[in-house]
Chain A
C-alpha cells in the first residue's frame, strides 16, 4: 500500500528545472529518506508532496487516491504534513496558539488562552515535547521548536509526515533524539519522509533511500540495510562533477603583510539575540589561509561575524587586521583596511532585493569617501555590468531588481561586490547555503582563488563536509568559545565531540 506516490513530476522555476520526471511510490508505515546534495531538488520534492509547490507536469496520489497538485488544503486533508527546514511558526505566538493556528480543526470565534493551553497540553505530552503550551515560540531552544513543529504537524491526525532537513539545526545528541522520535512515530503507524543530505544520518534512520541528483531520480527506494556509505556517497555526488575547473576572478595583489590578516585576542562580547556572547576568543587567520569555523548553529558564529564586522562591540580583547589594531573602529574603517563580508543572510544583509542590481553592486564604492560627492550613475552601471559579467552572473539588465536573481547568481553578485583588489580578509558566512552544486563549486573556487592571491579567508559553515573540503584549518565554536582546533586529515569524531562539548567521540548514532 503506498502512502505517497508521485508520477512523472517535473517542476520548473523559470528556466531552471528543479525536478525532472520524478516517479516514486513510498510504502506506508516506513521511514523513507530522500537524499541529495544542495540544490538536488529535495526541498522542491518535499513541497510537491505536501501540495505547496504545483509541479509543471505530473500527478500526486496520497493513499492511492489522486489529489489536486499544488493544493496544500487537499494534501493536509489527506493527512500529509510538512515540517519546513526553516521553521514557520510565528515567533511571538505561544505554543498553544501556534498549534491552534496550524490546526485544521475549527475553533469557535471566541476562546480563552487557558482553554487553548489545556487543549494542547496532552498532545505535547503524548509526543514528549519539552514545551509548555504557554511558552513563547521565540523563547524555546531550536530543538524544542522543532519538536513543536512536529507536534503541530501531527495535531490533525497526519498519516504522512515530511521532514525537510530536520537535522540541519540540531547538535548530534539532539539528532539522535530526533531519530528516536521518528522511530516512535513509525511505530505509531505514521509514514515518515525525511529529507537529508548527510550520509551517516541517512544510514542511521532510514529504511529506504531515494537519491536525487540535479533534479533527477538516480536511485529509488533502495533498502537502507543493504547500503554502505561509499556507494551512497557515489550515488549522491555522481562522477561527472568531480574535477571540473571553474574560472573565477581573484584579487590581483592582495597585501601580503607578514602579520596575519585577522587576529582576535581574548575577544569577548555581551550576549546578543543572535546567540551566546563571545568569551575569550583567540583566532588567527593568516594570509593565504582558509580557516573554517565549525559548530552547531547558534553557538556564537553570528556574534563572531558581527564582532569582526564591528557591528557588535568587543567588551574585552583586541582585533587586529594586518597588524593594525582595529578594535575600536567602525565597519567602514575596517572595510577600508580590506575587510570584506559575505553575510549570513544573503537576501537581507547582503542585497536589497527591491533595489536595482547596479545600486546593490555600487554600495561598497558609495560608502567609501565623502557622502556628498557627485557620482555618475551611468558610470556605475557600466562598472557593475562588467563586474557581473566577469563573475559570470546571469542577469538581464543592471537595472533589474536584485530579487529577480536566483540564489547562486545573487551570491555571485555579492562576491563580485566584496572581492576586489583591496580585499585582505574575507569573512564568508554560510556562503553556499541553499546553492546548487554548480554555484557551490563556484563559491569554493572563488574563496580558494582569493586564498591563492594572499587573502585571509574565514568561512563559517554548519556543513562539516564543506569545511573539510576547503579549509586549511578548522576551529570549533561552542557557546561562544573556541573549543578546538583541527588540521587535515580531519577527525570527524573528535570535531563532533568538540561541537557538542562531549569529551569523547560522540558521533556514533545508536540504532534502535
Chain B
C-alpha cells in the first residue's frame, strides 16, 4: 500500500510541477505580449474562484469536463485513444433533445431519466462506430474519433437549423427549441443539487468500474499488453468495445445534462473545447479517477475565467487558450514515452491476432 500511495503522491506532485511550469511559461508570454502577468493571473483567479459567483461558474464547467474526462481516461487506460468526446457530447445532446422535445409534456420523473438515457445512447453510438472499426479492422481510432467530432458538429448545425429549429430564434446562432421548464434539472447557472448528485454518483460508479472490477483491472492490463490478456482467455474484444461504449456514453450523458441543465436548448457550436479539455484532464491526472475530479475543477476554473476575462476584466480570453496550450505542451512532453509503447502495442496486436483472424 505504501508503495502505491507513494506512487500516487509522486504522480500528483509531478502533475502539479508540470502545471506550475506551464503557468510560469505563460507568465513570460503575457509579459512579452505587454500584459502584466500578475494582473492576468489575479484576474484568472478572480474569474475562477474569487469573484462573486465565480465558483458556481467553475463548478458549472467542471461537471461536463469531469464526466467527459472519465470516459477519455477509461479508454486511455484500456489502450485506446478516444479523442472524440466532443462529438460524443454533441450526439448525446442531440439524442436527448429529440426525446425531450417529443416528451415535453411527459411526466418529468419518467421523461428526465429517459432523456438522460437517450443522451448516453447517442454518445455511445458515436463511440461504437470507431470502436467497431478499431476492433474489427484495426482502423486507427484517433482518426475516426477525431473526424467524428467534425461530423457531430455539422449534425448539430443541421438539427438546430432543421428538425428542432427554434422558430423564434434570433437567427444569429442556430439553436433548438427550448426544453420544457419541467424537464430542466438546473437553472442557467448550471449548478443544482440534482446535477451535482448525478455527476457524483456517476463518478463513483466509474471509479468502481475502473479500479474495483475484474473488467477494469483486465482492461488496464490489456491497455499495456493486449496479447498477454488474450493468452489468459479474456474476451478482449468485448472488453474493448465496452470501454468505447462507456466512454462515449459518459460524454453523451454530459451532453444530455448540458441540455437539461445550464443550456436548456441545443445550441449550434456550443462549448467547442470541452472534448479537448477532457483529454487534457485525463493526461494531467495520470488516468486516475479521483485525480480527474480535482483536475477537472482546475480546468473548470480556467473555463469560467475565459468568460470572465474579456467581459469583466477587459483582458483577452486568449490567455486561457495559451495556458491550456502550455499545459498540453508540458503534459505531452511527459507523455512521450507512452507513445512508443502504443506503437509497439499496435505492432504486436496487428502481427498476432489480426492476421490470424484474416487467415482463419
Contact = CB atoms under 8 A, between A and B. Distances in A.
A273 B359 contact: yes
B220 A270 contact: no
A354 B341 contact: yes
Interface string B185-228: 00000000000000000000000110111110110110011011
B233 interface: yes
Contacts of B348: 348
A242 interface: no
A331 B233 contact: yes
Interface in A327-379: 330-332, 334-335, 341, 343, 345, 348-355, 359-360, 362-364, 366-367, 369-378
Given A332-B233, A371-B218, A372-B215, A363 B356 contact: no
Given A272-B359, A363-B232, A348 B212 contact: no
A375 B212 contact: yes
B305 to A, nearest CB: 37
Contacts of B235: 330, 332, 371
Interface stretch (B1-9, B27-35, B43-51, B315-323): B1-9
A89 to B, nearest CB: 16
B234 interface: yes
Interface string B1-45: 101100100000000000000000000000000000000000000
Contacts of A351: 225, 228
B224 A355 contact: yes
Interface in B212-257: 212-215, 217-218, 220-221, 224-225, 227-235, 238-239
A355 B225 contact: yes
Contact of B3 (A343, A366, A372, A399): A399
B212 A374 contact: yes
Main secondary structure of the interface of A (DSSP, over half): loop
Contacts of A269: 360
Interface stretch (A209-217, A290-298, A305-313, A456-464): A305-313
A410 B232 CA distance: 16
B114 to A, nearest CB: 24
A360 B221 contact: yes
A334 B231 CA distance: 12
B211 to A, nearest CB: 7
A397 interface: yes
A349 B218 contact: no
A271 interface: yes
A352 B225 contact: yes
Contacts of B220: 355, 359
Contacts of B225: 348, 351-355
A400 to B, nearest CB: 8
Contacts of A364: 232
A480 B220 CA distance: 36
Contact of A367 (B208, B212, B233): B233
A373 B228 contact: no
A370 B215 CA distance: 8
Contact of B217 (A270, A332, A343, A377): A377
A359 B3 contact: no
Contacts of B230: 311, 331, 349
Interface string A302-328: 000010011111000000000000000
Nearest to B238: A371
B228 A313 contact: no
Contacts of B359: 270-273
Contacts of B341: 354
B212 A377 contact: yes
A353 B228 CA distance: 10
A373 B230 CA distance: 20
Q: Which of B213, B233, B360 has the most CB of A within 10 A?
A: B233
B122 to A, nearest CB: 23
A363 B229 contact: yes
Contacts of B224: 352-355
A372 B234 contact: no
Contacts of A371: 213-215, 218, 235, 238-239
B227 A349 contact: yes
Contacts of A373: 213-214
A269 B229 CA distance: 23
Nearest to A351: B228
Nearest to A417: B232
A447 B217 CA distance: 29
11 contacts: A270-B360, A272-B355, A309-B233, A330-B235, A348-B227, A350-B228, A350-B231, A352-B229, A362-B217, A371-B235, A378-B1
Interface of B: 1, 3-4, 7, 208-209, 211-215, 217-218, 220-221, 224-225, 227-235, 238-239, 341, 348, 351, 353, 355-356, 359-360
